[in-house]
Amino acid sequence: MPRAAKYDRRIALDKAVALFWARGYHATSLKQLEQALDMRPGSLYAAFGSKQSLFMEALDVYAVQMVNQLESHLDSAHSPLLALQSFLRELVLGGAAQDEAPARACMIVKTLMEVTEEEEPLSIKVNELLADMEEIFEDLLTRSRREGELRADVDCARLARLVQVQVMGLRSYAQRQVTSKELEPLLTDINGLLDTYRVRH
């Protein structure tokens, strides 16, 4: 009979996400991972294979967290576009689930800026995750157009790319030592940009 694992994989991955998100891939040492996950080197390798494979799993967990956040806003907002706008606000300024976020910058975008050509698996991974998120934005915007919230002539694929550019830029900017008061007007500008695509009644 196989021995039961002495760790909770999901808890371990959540801890890995927090550490990698705060420090980045290269700056996170194996010793720091062992301490954060409370695992010995042998157990860490047995569970995840390598630092890189653990990091890639952590990226998946982080991406799922973002999707769950967006779905939560969709459940509570009166329209898809309002859900997107409130989601963007939480990403940048924080909220109930993000008050203790390790970093304001997106973990995926931080990784995109950090990986080198020699780390092709990581580069492929982050580009796939960003493409997935862009597709989610496109689906949401398409739904908004179908429900009559956005104009019929809106190119939802193009607008989704624009939204992702805004998200990547603003969250990277927010990583600087700037206050929420300084970020608020920028969010207002992004919301105003999205509002230009609305149907005018």
Average pLDDT over residues 195-200: 92
Please tell me the predicted confidence (pLDDT) of residue 101.
61
Residues in Cβ contact with 22 at an 8 Å cutoff, skipping those fewer than 6 apart: 102, 103
pLDDT at site 8: 86
Condensed to tens digits (0 to 9), the pLDDT of residues 78-99 reads 999 999 999 988 888 876 444 4
Taking a C-beta distance cutoff of 8 angstroms, is the pair 151, 199 a contact?
A: yes
Give the residue-averaged pLDDT of 140-160: 96
Distance CA 109, CA 170 (A): 11
Prediction pTM value? 0.88
The total of other beta-carbon atoms located within 10 Å of residue 48's CB is 22
The CA-atom distances, in angstroms, between 169 and each of 19, 86, 111, 120 are: 22, 17, 14, 23
pLDDT tens profile 58-71: 999 999 999 999 99
Report the mean per-residue pLDDT for the chain.
89
Domains of the chain: 9-195 (1.10.357.10)
- Write down the H helix ranges in 97-119: 107-114
